[in-house]
Amino acid sequence: MTERNRLRIAVQKSGRLCEGSMELLKAIGVKLSIRDRLLIAHATNLPIDLLRVRDDDIPGLVMDGVVDLGFIGENELEEKMLERQAQGKQFQYKTLERLEFGGCRLSLAVPNEMDYQSVQSLQGKKVATTYPFLLERFFREQNVNAKAVMLNGSVEVAPRAGLADAICDLVSTGATLEANGLVEKDVIFRSKAVLIQRGGEMPDGKQQLIDKLLTRINGVMQARE
Ligand code: PRP
Ligand code: ZN
Ligand code: MG
């Protein structure tokens, strides 16, 4: 296969999804030589290139057809879809497999001392988050008039810094919330890792390789059940 015909897979460079994605690729026989600082890694035994990027970039790379496959959290995927919908941009992709790693929840959390009865207690308040579209959809569904304040990082310090009254962020162990004097109140989205494929035509060779990888993924998942 020529360079253009190599299958391009996007994975998170570091973070929640990274280990699970790399382990799964290894388990299905994709041999990689990863050099830490490089964005791209070539498989040595299959026509596959790995793009190691920030997880927030992965849904867009797949939706724009820049990569063929991506390992991504459903939270990032849904947020990007809502963002593109709002902008009238295209967001084509298909989900190939729901995976058993990268589990987390997107939750509303408030300072310990705040009187919180229900999400209605956030009426008129500001809520810091990296997921404004998911949060605003939730507020709309709940008929709550609150404002999402977008922060790409350090969301958990926003209330203490006086930037917001509450936060809406990813939680897995809860350690980050606890360390910052915050209490989890409502889960607004539950997420796991998924494997997605770009829309559009796939050359035969690539599609066959994808099918082969999927068969192996199913085998590995069944063996782990
Ligand atoms: C999320 C979230 C918290 C942390 C919570 O960050 O923003 O920082 O995980 O996890 P815990 O409940 O186990 O303490 P993430 O790992 O997604 O990194 P990012 O914010 O840099 O994407
Ligand atoms: Zn190269
Ligand atoms: Mg974080």
- Measuring CA to CA, how many Å separate 176 from each of 133, 168, 170, 181, 195? 22, 12, 10, 9, 27
Count structural domains, the chain.
2
Judge if 174 and 73 occupy the same domain. no
* pLDDT of 57 over the 90 cut: yes
Same-domain status, 11 and 38:
yes
Say whether both 14 and 86 belong to one domain.
yes
How many A from CA of 56 to the centre of ligand 1?
13
Residue 3 predicted with pLDDT over 70:
no
- CA triplet 4, 7, 13: central angle to 5 degrees? 115
pLDDT-above-90 percentage for the chain: 93
Shared-domain flag, residues 73 and 51: yes
- What separation in Å is there between the alpha carbon of 216 and the centre of ligand 3? 32
178 Cα nearest atom in ligand 1: 14
d(CA 16, CA 20): 8
**Statement to judge: residues 121 and 97 lie in one domain:** no
Residue 8 Cα distances to 12, 31, 35, 167, angstroms: 13, 14, 17, 36
Same domain flag for 135 and 180: yes
Range of the domain at 45: 3-102+192-224
Higher pLDDT, 21 or 36: 21
pLDDT for the residue numbered 4: 72
| 75-85 pLDDT tens trace | 999 999 999 99
CA distance 101 to 143: 33
Given the CA of residue 15, which atom of ligand 1 is nearest to it? 16
Q: Which residue has the tokens 């793009």?
A: 51
Mean pLDDT of the chain, nearest integer:
95
pLDDT for 1: 46
My answer on whether 74 and 108 are in the same domain is no
68: domain CATH number? 3.40.190.10
Is residue 157 located within the same domain as residue 131?
yes
Tens of pLDDT along 91-119?
999 999 999 999 999 999 999 999 999 99
Calculated CA dihedral for residues 7, 10, 14, 18, nearest 10 degrees: -70
Judgement on whether residues 96 and 109 belong to the same structural domain of the protein: no
- Report CA(126)–ligand 1 centroid distance (Å): 20
CA–CA separation, 131 and 97 (whole Å): 23
> What pLDDT digit, counting tens, does each position of 172-186 carry?
999 999 999 999 999
Distance 6 CA to ligand 2 centre (A): 10
Q: E strand or H helix at 217, and its extent?
A: helix 204-224
Contact predicate 14/37, CB 8 Å: no
Clarify whether residues 134 and 154 are in a common domain: yes
CA–CA gap between residue 34 and residue 156 (Å, rounded): 32
User: Looking at the structure, do residues 95 and 203 belong to the same domain, yes or no?
Assistant: yes
Mean pLDDT, residues 43-60: 96
Q: Tell me which residue has its CA closest to atom 5 in ligand 1.
A: 171
The answer on 8 and 72 residing in a single domain is yes
Q: At CA 212, angle to CA 206 and CA 216, rounded to 5? A: 145
